[in-house]
């Protein structure tokens, strides 16, 4: 119980999100209609991705200062899990855009920024795959990972705020204002964000443990 209480919390929060997200009332907004409920599912993907990629960044910095290969394992597996959430975020966003803006994809700073971010992280995996020597791979990809996170902040947080964007929370405005969220929606949205972050961390820890076991077996052979 000591160690896994947060996994139960993650499951409870995500299940609560599904039930409350469909059944609680939402404000009636033109264009959005009931799709406003997507906020409970699409946005937490990105919050989860940013949190998990931050964990990845943190361990990359840790690797550079301590040269412990375990940190490199965490950094790479966190980047994997973060990409899963980012991919789900971009696909759900595309579906949402089709039925509100009328197109699967529009050339918008936020959307293109998200796509570029995913490509930057794909390059991280290509970089890892192309280096055979363990220490070298860990060091070079750690440096690249720091660069990748900075680019993520630029493409997802800064550029969309400097330009006009169809996507809510951009064009100079802060992320959430009173038009985006009412108090009932907050009651579902915040638990949703917390739940998906925790669920993402859970998936990440499983991947990390498997990779550490793989390495252990390789070392013993």
Instruction: List residues binding other proteins (CB under 8 A).
Output: 7, 11, 14-15, 18-19, 22-23, 26, 28-30, 33-34, 199, 202-203, 206, 209-210, 213, 216-217
Helix (H) or strand (E) holding 10, with range, is helix 5-23
CB of 213 to other proteins, least distance (A): 6
CB of 43 to other proteins, least distance (A): 17
User: Within 13 Å, how many C-alpha atoms sit on residue 24's CB side?
Assistant: 19
- Looking at the Cβ atoms of 95 and 206, the one nearer to other proteins is 206
* Alpha carbon distance 125, 16 (integer Å): 34
CA separation, residue 219 to residues 31, 91, 133, 212 (Å): 58, 39, 14, 11
Q: What is the DSSP string of 40-89?
A: HHHHHHHHHHHHHHHHHHHHHHHHHHH--HHHHHHHHHHHHHHHHHHHHH
- Looking at the Cβ atoms of 22 and 147, the one nearer to other proteins is 22
- Looking at the Cβ atoms of 3 and 65, the one nearer to other proteins is 3
CB of 189 to other proteins, least distance (A): 17
- Looking at the Cβ atoms of 13 and 142, the one nearer to other proteins is 13
CB of 158 to other proteins, least distance (A): 31
Q: In sequence order, what are the residues at sequence separation of 6 or more whose Cβ sits closer than 8 angstroms to the Cβ of residue 31?
A: 100
CB of 17 to other proteins, least distance (A): 9
- Looking at the Cβ atoms of 111 and 197, the one nearer to other proteins is 197
Q: Is the dihedral of CA 125, 131, 137, 141 positive or negative?
A: negative
């Amino acid at each position: 119980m000591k160690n896994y209480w947060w996994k139960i919390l993650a499951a409870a929060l995500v299940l609560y999100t599904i039930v409350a997200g469909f059944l609680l009332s939402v404000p009636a907004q033109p264009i959005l209609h009931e799709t406003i409920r997507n906020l409970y599912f699409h946005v937490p993907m990105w919050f989860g991705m940013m949190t998990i990629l931050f964990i990845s960044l943190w361990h990359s910095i840790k690797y550079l200062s301590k040269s412990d290969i375990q940190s490199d394992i965490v950094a790479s597996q966190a980047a994997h899990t973060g990409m899963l959430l980012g991919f789900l975020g971009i696909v759900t966003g595309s579906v949402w855009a089709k039925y509100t803006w009328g197109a699967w994809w529009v050339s918008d700073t936020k959307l293109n920024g998200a796509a570029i971010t995913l490509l930057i992280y794909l390059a991280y995996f290509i970089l890892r795959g192309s280096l055979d020597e363990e220490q070298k791979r860990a060091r070079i990809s750690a440096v690249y990972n720091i660069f990748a996170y900075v680019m993520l902040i630029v493409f997802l947080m800064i550029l969309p705020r400097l330009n006009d964007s169809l996507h809510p929370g951009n064009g100079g405005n802060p992320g959430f204002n009173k038009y985006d969220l009412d108090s009932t929606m907050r009651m579902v949205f915040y638990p949703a964000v917390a739940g998906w972050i925790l669920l993402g961390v859970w998936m990440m820890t499983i991947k990390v443990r498997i990779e550490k076991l793989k390495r252990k077996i390789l070392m013993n052979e």
